[in-house]
Structure 1
Amino acid sequence: MSRISVRGFAVASATAVTTVGAVVGVATGDPQHSNDLETTASGTDTLLADIPAGEQARVQSASLTQQADALSHAADTDAKRSVEEAARIQAAKDAKDKKSAAEAKEKADAEAKAKKEREEKEQVASRSASRDASSFTPKSSYTVAELKSIARQIVPASQFQCFSNIVDAESTWNYLAVNDSSGAYGLVQALPGSKMSSVAADWRTNPATQIQWGLNYMNETYKSPCGAWTFHQANDWY
């Protein structure tokens, strides 16, 4: 191997070491490393002084290429690390959001289930507390307070106010009320009044029979007295 070849190889090798070390030294902030690099670079300059100008240009070109490759590799490594970190953060966020959504759904489902069970219990309690029209002994006359008391014992508590609103609007709690125009009869103004015979034959004089028929009609036609009252408010009839 010639003197030029040996020195060229030495210069290229030293320059490569200097270049890679520079990247590492700058990145780590290691002063000692930087000093070592300067010494190595100084030695390289001495070697270059002994090499012909043409060979120096070739060696320096190779050194710059190695330096560029080292910097590019470092940049690629940093970019890859940044992408991986961003992906990790996003994955953690997605997992947290998914968990929160699942917990919110579970809570909503539990609340809906509890509400349904509560309503069913209330309905059962209302039905068990209600009396049938046939359990009331007919009287010759009734006060409004007595009529409302009978209605409270037949109509579920949760539906009583709606039922009462309809009776107030239709007959003002007069169980003998007759509509002069249509012939509608009784507390709930059944049309015709004879419809109420499906509950009992005493529909003309027994308010309990009228109340029971009215409740049945509201449940069958509007699902509940409150459903009937909503319709009544919008149409002034039911």
Structure 2
Amino acid sequence: MSRISVRGFAVASATAVTTVGAVVGVAAGGEQGSSDPVEATAADASLLAEIPTGQQAQVQTASLTQQADIQSTAADAEARKAAEESARKQAAEDAKAKKEAADKEAAEKLAEERAKKKEAEQAASRSATRDADSFTPQASYTVAEVQAMARQMVPGDQFQCFSNIVNHESTWNYRATNPSSGAYGLVQALPGSKMASAGADWQTNPATQIKWGLNYMNERYGSPCGAWSFWQANNWY
């Protein structure tokens, strides 16, 4: 290899290194060196002037390739950062949706369990009640005896509502009669003869009157508490 060729190769190599160094220095904000980019460019131009035209093209191509690699690396890093941020946001949204679904499922399960428990309690209360025929008829009954019969016939969760109505209608007097309307008995059936559907002894047996009154409230208002709500709004039922 001739001296000129060796020199040209050396200069070309030095120029490539210098050019890359200048590009990197500018990209890094000048942190890797304090040399002036303008001075570096002038030096590069001086060196390139001493290199044959063919080798100049090779050096310039190498420099552009280095710049393209640096830009590609930066773009890849930015793309990775954006992908990581997107994945983080998606993971957070997935976790939130999963928690909301779990909370909803737990709430629905709790509501279902409560409904089943209430239904079981109501069924147990109904099964624990006695029928009017299970009481031995008496010649007369005290208020306490009539109330005790009602407690055994009316479901526990409905007794207070039933009691409120009876208190207002007859004050637990199973022989109470309304002189103006003719309503009769504990629940003031009008006419009183309606209660015959529950038993022929409707005039003298509180259990028969309670049976009829309970059936009436259930059929017309859904329950004694439904009847009591209506009574409070209208003063009759």
Q: Relative to structure 1, is the Cα distance of residues 50 and 114 closer, same or farther in structure 2, using a 3 angstrom cutoff?
A: closer
Q: Is the 8 A contact 2:19 2:44 kept in 1?
A: no
Q: How many residues align?
A: 224
Equivalent residue for 1:159? 158
The equivalent residue for 1:49 is: 46
* Matches for 1:1-238 after TM superposition, within 5 Å: 13-14=16-17, 16-22=19-25, 26=28, 34=32, 45-50=42-47, 73=72, 76-77=75-76, 79-238=78-237
Measured after TM superposition, the shift of residue 196 of structure 1 is 1.0
Distance 2:197 2:151 in 1: 21
1:135 offset after TM fit, Å?
Answer: 1.1
Q: How far did 1:186 drift?
A: 0.8
Give me the whole-angstrom Cα distance separating, in 2, the residues matched to 1:49 and 1:170: 119
Instruction: Quickly say closer, same or farther: Cα 1:63–1:23, change in 2 above 3 A.
Output: farther
- Give the % identical residues: 48
Change (3 A) 1:44 1:213: same
Question: Deviation digits for residues 36-63 of structure 1, max 9, x if unmatched?
Answer: x96x9987654423556xx9xxx9x999
Q: CA, structure 1 residues 204+16, in 2 after alignment: closer, same or farther (shift >3 Å)?
A: farther
Stretch deviating more after TM superposition (75-84 or 175-184):
75-84
Q: Given residue 49 of structure 1, which amino acid in structure 2 is its aligned partner? A: S
In structure 1, what residue type is equivalent to 2:106? K
Residue ranges of structure 1 left out of the alignment (5+ in a row)? none
Q: Which moved more, 1:206-215 or 1:120-129?
A: 120-129
Q: Would you say the 8 A contact 2:165–2:228 is kept in 1?
A: yes
- CA RMSD of superposed structures (Å): 3.9
Residue 188 to residue 73, structure 1, CA distance change in 2 (3 Å):
same
User: Matches of 1:148 and 1:179 in 2, distance apart?
Assistant: 21
Q: Are residues 75 and 236 of structure 1, via their aligned partners in 2, closer, same or farther at CA, if it must alter by over 3 Å?
A: farther
Deviates more, 1:63-72 or 1:149-158: 63-72
Q: CA contact under 8 A between 2:15 and 2:47: conserved in structure 1?
A: no
TM-score by structure 2 length?
0.76
Name the TM-score, length of structure 1 as normaliser.
0.76
Q: 1:148 to 1:160 in 2, by over 3 A?
A: same
C-alpha distance in 1 between matches for 2:170 and 2:26 = 97
Distance of 1:234 and 1:64 partners within structure 2: 94
For residues 205 and 87 of structure 1, the distance between their equivalents in structure 2, rounded to whole angstroms, comes to 82
Give the Cα–Cα distance (whole angstroms) in 1 for the partners of residues 194 and 15 of structure 2: 113
What is the CA-CA distance between 1:181 and the residue it aligns to? 2.7
